[in-house]
Amino acid sequence: MLKNAASQMAGVGSNPLRHHHNKLWTWPFILAVFAILALGAISLFTGVYDIRGQADGKEMFFTTRVPRTLSLMLTGAAMAMAGLVMQLVTQNRLVEPTTTGTIEWSGLGLLSVYLIFPAPSLLLRMTGAILFSFIGTSLFFLLLRRIKLRSSLIVPIVGMMLGAVISAISTFVGLLFQMTQNIESWYIGSFSNVQIGRYEYLWIIVLVTVLIFICADRLTLAGLGQDVATSLGVNYNRIIFLGTALISLAVGIVAAVIGNLPFLGLIVPNIVSMFRGDDLRSNLPWVCLLGMGTIMTCDILSRVLIMPFEIPVSLILGTVGSAVFILILLKQRRSARTPR
Amino acid sequence: MIQIENVKKSYTSEAAIGPLNIEIPKAGLTSLIGPNGAGKSTTLLMIGRLLDSDGGRITVADMDVSSSKSKDLAKVLTILRQENHFVTRLTVRQLAGFGRFPYSKGRLTNEDEEIISKYIDFLDLTALENRYLDELSGGQRQRAYVAMVLCQETEYVLLDEPLNNLDVARSVQMMEHLKYAASEFGRTILTVLHDINFAAKYSDRICAMKHGRIAAFGTVDEIMKPELLTDIFETKIEIMQGPYGPIAVY
């Protein structure tokens, strides 16, 4: 066997290079880009107001339709990426902003801002949401380190319990100060209020995407655990801190501008992982695209299902997401049973 | 050379390790043996800077592991633990490629790719290089981890129970590979082994530990003595001369 190995070694230099990084611009990816563009076009021309027939159609188009479609794309990418980074950092497939309490914390952050400042600006609300989601997510990660039994199910259960406690606090505070309406409308995330002047902060997500791309390999390494990361010379705690900051930034912005969007961060990364594995750098464009596609499809559905009314998009996402969550659970159980 | 001076680690008042004093010379394969709870893995983890010591000094190639920069150490020593449960879905080649991280920070050069190919071929993983880790058998996965560690091209390679969960054939194969890596690639390999006879057949040196102390350190023939092993493992152990060297019988 060793002779065999030795002869293989001798031939190394003459072997053609075998690259492993998945190519990005493959036919499926180009098709996916076109599919997203098509969905975007449908989203632009879906709505009760007849933008082609009315005199102020063009104005309406640029005031509401374009911002709505753009914000759909940006939030879709943001939530999908937040879920992906979270799954790497916790080494758990069932984790995303709604199963870790991050969303609930950002809700509490918004509420706190409303309590402290009368009529707060969007920037102020956003800052509160980002800050609180950072505190909450860090707390959750610290809690996880103390838990010995880190089976794949325990982690999201702990997160959901934590989230339930936080949302109970929010409700209590809301009742106490008569602000329940604020919370209730927030928990039902919807894009119906998006118009020019109210969504521009979402562009920060582009910056988050770039940062995640820069740290991609480090984050993938964090997914291999503290020991492997340390052995390869990466400061594990620093990368976890960075990951948490990026997640909070993305979730906080979306929470302040749009509201609660459940399960997007769960569905998208799991589907991408199934087909392409977990090499973050080459997967990131796919995760963004699929995030955009999923939320645009759900939003278009939310607008046409009971036309001329609108269903909140979080309702559709929640339904689809729960189904996918259960499917992943079942699949995990099956693969755990089959002998390797 | 790995130098350990007065290193201590205390868990509770009963379970404490050290003070440890040992110099492990460069090159060759050194095995750490000893009963459960003797402190073998703890010692290995402290050398590999995955665990802080409570006192004393550890240097690897004249670098103090507690004060040197982790990213500099990553070019000198690498450590692989026994339990590796990756949720992350990577292919064998992607995983091995991460071994080049200390050098290329994720941007693999052609030179990196050649090095990766070299170790993948060496560990007989060529046909499996594009398979995902969760599709492999335990032995194949273990070899993939070792491929990553070898891709790091560090002078010192620390392995915590690399034969864990491997059958006899897989274990022999793994030890052959490690022995070859030590002799042909000039690596200094330090490994925790449970099976005395595997340690005897493949090691250049054996370090025996008991109750958190180093009980004996020497060549295979110096350690493979019935009185010494009987004392260390507190079990009657006889030594016989087998076709490939001394064999412990218990």
- Tens of pLDDT, residue by residue over B54-65, are 988 999 999 999
Which pLDDT belongs to residue A20? 52
% residues pLDDT > 70 (chain A)? 89
Higher pLDDT, B146 or A192: B146
CB distance A126 to A252 below 8 Å: yes
**Sequence-separated (6 or more) residues with CB below 8 Å from residue A78:** A202, A205, A208, A250, A251, A253, A254, A291
Chain A residues whose CB is inside 8 A of the B92 CB are none
Chosen for mutation from A94, A228, A278 (greatest number of chain B CBs closer than 10 Å) is A228
Beta carbons within 10 angstroms of residue B41's beta carbon? 17
Higher pLDDT, A163 or A57: A163
Q: How confident is the model at residue A334 (pLDDT cuts 50, 70, 90)?
A: low
Which pLDDT belongs to residue A11? 42
Higher pLDDT, A15 or A291: A291
**pLDDT (average), residues B97-125:** 91
* Beta carbons of B50 and A230 less than 8 Å apart: yes
* Beta carbons of B106 and A9 less than 8 Å apart: no
Asked if pLDDT for residue A18 goes beyond 70, the answer is: no
Asked if pLDDT for residue A157 goes beyond 80, the answer is: yes
Q: Is A138 on the interface with B (CB under 8 A)?
A: no
Asked if pLDDT for residue B43 goes beyond 80, the answer is: yes
**pLDDT (average), residues A216-244:** 91
Full strand arrangement of the beta sheet holding B2-10: B16-24, B2-10, B55-60, B63-64
CA–CA separation, B127 and B6 (whole Å): 47
**pLDDT (average), residues A257-268:** 88
**pLDDT (average), residues A316-329:** 85
Which pLDDT belongs to residue A260? 84
**pLDDT (average), residues B108-116:** 91
Length of chain B: 250
Q: How confident is the model at residue A330 (pLDDT cuts 50, 70, 90)?
A: confident
Which is nearest to A160 in space by CA: A242, A113, A203, A102?
A: A102
The CATH number for B134's domain is 3.40.50.300
Q: How confident is the model at residue B147 (pLDDT cuts 50, 70, 90)?
A: very high
The CATH number for A170's domain is 1.10.3470.10
Which pLDDT belongs to residue A9? 46
**pLDDT (average), residues A96-107:** 88
Q: How many CB pairs under 8 A join A and B?
A: 124
H-helix or E-strand spanning residue B249? strand B245-249
Question: What domain range includes position A181?
Answer: 24-337
Which pLDDT belongs to residue A184? 76
Chosen for mutation from A17, A220, A231 (greatest number of chain B CBs closer than 10 Å) is A231
Integer CA distances (angstroms), B92 to B117, B121, B206, in order:
11, 12, 32
CB distance B142 to B166 below 8 Å: yes
Higher pLDDT, A7 or A261: A261
- Residue A327, domain member (yes or no): yes
Which pLDDT belongs to residue A16? 55
- Residue A136, domain member (yes or no): yes
Which pLDDT belongs to residue B82? 81
Chain A residues whose CB is inside 8 A of the B117 CB are 12, 15, 17-18
- Tens of pLDDT, residue by residue over A50-92, are 777 777 777 878 888 888 899 999 999 999 999 999 998 888 8
Chain B residues whose CB is inside 8 A of the A152 CB are 87
Using the structure block, give the residue that is written with the tokens 């990466």.
A234
Find the radius of gyration of the CA atoms of chain B: 18
Mean pLDDT: which of A16-25, A78-87, A145-154, A171-180 is highest?
Answer: A78-87
Asked if pLDDT for residue A148 goes beyond 90, the answer is: no
* Beta carbons of B72 and A8 less than 8 Å apart: no
Q: Is A6 on the interface with B (CB under 8 A)?
A: yes
Asked if pLDDT for residue A14 goes beyond 50, the answer is: no
Q: How confident is the model at residue A49 (pLDDT cuts 50, 70, 90)?
A: confident
Written as six digits, the tokens of B185 are 């690639």
Does the interface ipTM go beyond 0.85? yes
Which pLDDT belongs to residue A149? 60
- Tens of pLDDT, residue by residue over A175-193, are 888 877 777 777 777 787 7
Which pLDDT belongs to residue A8? 46
**pLDDT (average), residues B34-45:** 91
CB distance A90 to A240 below 8 Å: no
Higher pLDDT, B111 or A192: B111
CA–CA separation, B94 and A44 (whole Å): 40
Q: How does the average pLDDT of chain A come out, rounded?
A: 83
Question: What domain range includes position B73?
Answer: 2-249
**Sequence-separated (6 or more) residues with CB below 8 Å from residue A24:** A282, A285
The torsion angles phi and psi of B56, rounded to 5 degrees, stand at 90, -170
**pLDDT (average), residues A158-184:** 86
Answer positive or negative: Cα dihedral of A22, A28, A33, A35.
negative
CA–CA separation, A283 and B205 (whole Å): 46
- Residue A229, domain member (yes or no): yes
- Residue A274, domain member (yes or no): yes
Q: How confident is the model at residue A22 (pLDDT cuts 50, 70, 90)?
A: low
pTM: 0.86
Which is nearest to B148 in space by CA: B194, B195, B104, B93?
A: B93
CA distance B175 to chain A (A): 11
Q: Is A10 on the interface with B (CB under 8 A)?
A: no
* Beta carbons of B101 and A217 less than 8 Å apart: yes
- Tens of pLDDT, residue by residue over B173-196, are 999 999 999 998 889 999 999 999
- In total, how many domains does chain B have? 1
Buried b (16+ CB within 10 A) or exposed e, A20-49: bebeeeeeeeeebeeebeebbeebeebbee
Which pLDDT belongs to residue A182? 73
Asked if pLDDT for residue A3 goes beyond 50, the answer is: no
- Residue A3, domain member (yes or no): no
Question: Which range has the worst mean pLDDT, A17-26, A197-206, B68-77?
Answer: A17-26
Integer CA distances (angstroms), A188 to A159, A185, A311, B224, in order:
20, 5, 10, 71
